[in-house]
Structure 1
Amino acid sequence: MRDCCLLFQGGTQLPSSCLRDEDVVALFEGRLPVSVNVLAHHHAARCAACRTLLVTLAHGDALPSDSVPLALLPLEQGRRCSRRPSVPDATWTPPAVLDGFRLERLLGRGGMGAVYLAQDARGDRRVALKVCVALQPDERALASFATEARAIARIQHPNVVTMERVGEVDGRPYLVYEYVDGKSLAELRPPLPWPRVLDIAVGLAAGLRAAHQCGVLHRDLKPGNAILEPDGTVKLIDFGLATFVGSGGTAPRGVREVVGTPRYMAPEIRMGESATARSDLYALGLLVFELCTGRLPPVRRGACAAFKPEAGRGPAALLTEWLPGIDPGFAAVIACCLAEDPSERFAQADVLCAVLEHVRRLVAFQRTSRVFPTPWMGAGFPPPKDEGILAGHNVF
């Protein structure tokens, strides 16, 4: 909690520099030394802002960019803290009928907005209406809704939710989406059968490909931000933390910005690097790994938390160990997404889509023909290394 208020233990004051931004993530993952862990929790018991942050991390919620301290803010009792304390229950309640939409029930709530199932009074159809419910919407909340509207307006794809309307009521923005009658991936109970996860991975990659081709990085891909329809179609939602990129495929550099959900952040994002298509693909790899196994691989110790590439213990090896029978080609694709070094991941989502679709065709062929060729036979790229990471990444 760099730049935060003083930490206390037994009446002793310690400078805020004892905990850095990456230490917050380390605390969340249980990797802090016991002495520092005690200090952090002792401090959080006295600091509403940091306590809220830790609760947010524990629930896997997204971490907006301004949660990374930039300047100290005054608090009560003469103490100072870099984080704005929030009161989750202090929200605005929308009317039963909002700008021609009759709200039926709450579908979900986040830090700044709430999503309702609504009936369009002008026609016989249901929609999902997302409205800003902050009592006093600040610049961050307004910017998030504006970003989401711009991002979704650019993308038209079956694997990305469709936005139908943008509006404002009582100074609060709202977005109207198609209503997707399904479950978020967070509502599923992993581990799931790996062939089913392979289908989901193909859909997620296709949605990211569409977004990236439109110059949009999602930056918060996680189970709660994808919905699975009964027919198996998966749709990406919630582009509130998205950013826009140019031809280089990298978010503009500016002040240090750590955006997203810590559990699914690429290691370079945790260190304040600019987001890229490769960082979105890392999050996709984590999500797919978790759906396959019900857990995440162990992380290395240190500020830049990433999967430890010990010999024979990379993500592909873990998948094979934890999930006997998984197609080795699929395991190698996941491992490539999870490479610690961004340059060793797939460079673009369209390449990942092509590889996943090829693996799926091979799996289907094996099942129908009772012939079991090597998963990479005829793939057009080299076989995986021992660790399960694809060799010859320069071809990507």
Structure 2
Amino acid sequence: MRILYIDHYAGSPTLGMEYRPHAMAERWMRSGHTVTLLAGSFSHLRAENPDVRIDGEHRSIDGVDFRFILTRSYGGNGIARVLSMGDFVGKGWLQARRISTALRPDVVVASSTYPFDTWLAQRIARFSGAGLVHEVHDLWPLTPMELGGYSPRHPLMWLMARAERSAYAESDVVVSILPNIEPHVRSLGVGTPVVHVPNGIEASSGDQPAPEDLTALVATLHAEGRTVIGYAGGMSTSNALDDFIVAMGLLRDEPISAVLIGDGMLRPELEKLAVTNGAAVHFVGRIPKRSVGAILRHMDGLYIGSKRSPLYEFGVSANKIFDYLLTGVPIVNAFATAHSPLKFAQCSLDATAEDPGDIARALRKIAVMQPEEAAERGRRGVEYVLAHHSMDALADDMLRALEQAADAQRHAAG
């Protein structure tokens, strides 16, 4: 098959996240399929953005073909980010016939987190006679409404709701990273098949050594007799690092330190919060993805959390969950959901979301945990993630969904 995978924010091991489209594409190409990733020239998620000068510019990056649409840069979640979405969808819509003619896809996947890209994907699929798949990362507009406090009457939320329903109704198959969205899709009066293909792990990719200064920091903290708690990922509201830092402040007189790997728009505020609370927290910035596992394995425990939200009734599939499970290190789980691989694996120390006192309690438990218990929790996590979240198996599952969509379109065409 010829597959066009549309994701405004698509990255690669070199560019940085989002990694999923590239990881899927690599595996499909090994099976003889032709894959092109259609992405924006700028993404806030990438560690490095390509120097793209021309709309539709083609690049081969880390072994996968990309086609880039010029999109403006932005910071934060303001109007500039919305305009960047408009750049991607609007320019792509205008280029749809040219893209269709050049690539002749058998199936088109819309996967940009926000739902507006369905209109671009629908247009390309229509010109190509291709099957159409909509891939759900998060439920929009529910996500910005719940986490950002927007009213459903806000014009942007209204437009997102129209795009969301169109995406579900016009697609041949809906693929969801979240485990429990089918009731939501059906509540909108849509009967399109829904397939769950969660995020996964690159179990065979191999770790790269962590930066020497970071390894030295963790070694120094251990030499001082301190328990070291790690975090790797973005620094946004949804990750609830503010609650974690307040919890660390409650432990300021105890030999427990935290090392936060990653970056994000809230980092300056979180650094100030750590100082205000006297928390022993070290911010070390981004490191290469393939070095993350190597350094996390040196930690005594790991933290992951969220804010409380009805959104989590649909489940979670954050990439860091699987990276964490693969380390074999005990995990403090302050996610506000029962639909989580951490719960399914029965390996985490659970804490109440948005409750720094309870998070501090779980961190103390890590500090006094016997090696045998730590090893057993770690073993359960590793076994679960290898059994259920291997990227090779997930790519096969996703490919079957794409084949289902392509077949549906062929049958519709007679």
Q: TM-score, normalised by structure 1?
A: 0.28
Whose helix proportion is higher, 1 or 2? 2
